[in-house]
Structure 1
Amino acid sequence: MGEKHVESNKPVVAIVMGSDSDWEVMKEAAEFLDAQNIPYECKVVSAHRTPAYMLEYASSAHARGFRVIIAGAGGAAHLPGMIASCTPLPVIGVPIKSRNSIDGWDSLLSILQMPNGVPVATVALNAAKNAGILAMQIIGSSDPSVLQKIVAFKEKMRDEVLAKKLPPESKS
């Protein structure tokens, strides 16, 4: 009871970004979700250039079947917080170090420092793959098939680490 299963091709994760120049970073979330067969949708949704569209997109996302929104932005990075203010869904913010940023600190702090009542889960700078992993973990908390994929991913990661061999120490 309470379980929701991911349908085969209906997107359950929305990946949005403030500009198409953010795709180089955000594609890592898409690539991870592709590898795990988790359906998603990617869109450019600018908080500054298309605010009405952003409000409509965010406020209707849950009714369209999305379960998590990953929002990436650089610079002032208002997109993740504005999306979070308009949706009941969990929002994962990806701060992006853009060409006009202050070494990424501006986007990181804009996404991280949200007021009470409007949380945004924030991953590391340019860490879109981690956002994809976290999105899967959120979905997996109510979908056993997705949970099993996360368990398998973590086991594979563990096995890869344990299989690593260091060069033998030199003897003097």
Structure 2
Amino acid sequence: MDKKVLLISGSQSDEVFVNIAIDLFDEWKVDYEYKVLSAHRNLKELTKFIEELPKEEYCAIIAVAGLSAALPGVVASLTTLPVIGVPRDVGPLNGVDALLSMIQMPSGVPVATMGIGSSGMKNAAYFVKRLLDSEGE
């Protein structure tokens, strides 16, 4: 069984944005799972889900967030799987606040952060594809 990627966003309104990566995964026949779990509104549910995640089935987690952008960092603090943060281009700072919160994680809680917006979402998908391709070598 090939490993799959987990995509998490904090809000159902992020689905169109997440679909940018899902469309690429469908094209490449990469297995994925998509969950909506907020670090602010569903912290206990998010924590339980990540802690019970069968790590051997996944290669990475893509966490999408805008504004305060807590989701990627919270997820990274709960797992040893690679976490890729993608800042949404929303809010008064158009995603710059999300970008800064993702790249400024404390030592020991790494988040591989992509660029703001749709190009960042595409690059997250390409990054996962490279991870999967390198496992097969």
8 Å contact from structure 1 (residues 111, 120) kept in 2: yes
Aligned equivalent of 2:130? 137
Gaps of 5+ in 2: none
**Take 1:56 and 1:74, find their aligned partners in 2: how far apart are those partners?**
22
* Residue 54 of structure 1, aligned match among 46, 62, 65: 46
Could you tell me how far 1:69 is from its partner in structure 2? Answer: 0.3
After TM superposition, the runs of 4+ consecutive aligned structure 1 residues lying more than 6 A away are none
Aligned equivalent of 1:123? 114
Could you tell me how far 1:62 is from its partner in structure 2? Answer: 3.8
The number of aligned residues is 135
Structure 2 residue 20 is matched with structure 1 residue 28: yes
Structure number with higher strand proportion? 2
Structure 1 residues 61 and 143 mapped into 2: Cα distance closer, same or farther (>3 Å)?
A: farther
Structure 2 residue 89 is matched with structure 1 residue 107: no
* Residue 71 of structure 2, aligned match among 79, 101, 104: 79
Gaps of 5+ in 1: 145-172
Residue deviations 1:1-36 (CA, integer Å, cap 9, x gap): xxxx51xxxx61001101111122211111111110
8 Å contact from structure 1 (residues 68, 139) kept in 2: no
Could you tell me how far 1:53 is from its partner in structure 2? Answer: 1.1
Question: How large is the Cα RMSD of the aligned pairs?
Answer: 1.5
**Take 1:116 and 1:138, find their aligned partners in 2: how far apart are those partners?**
23
TM-score normalised per structure 1: 0.74
TM-score normalised per structure 2: 0.91
**Alignment identity in percent?**
39
Question: Rg: which structure is higher?
Answer: 1
Amino acid at match of 2:128: A
Could you tell me how far 1:101 is from its partner in structure 2? Answer: 4.1
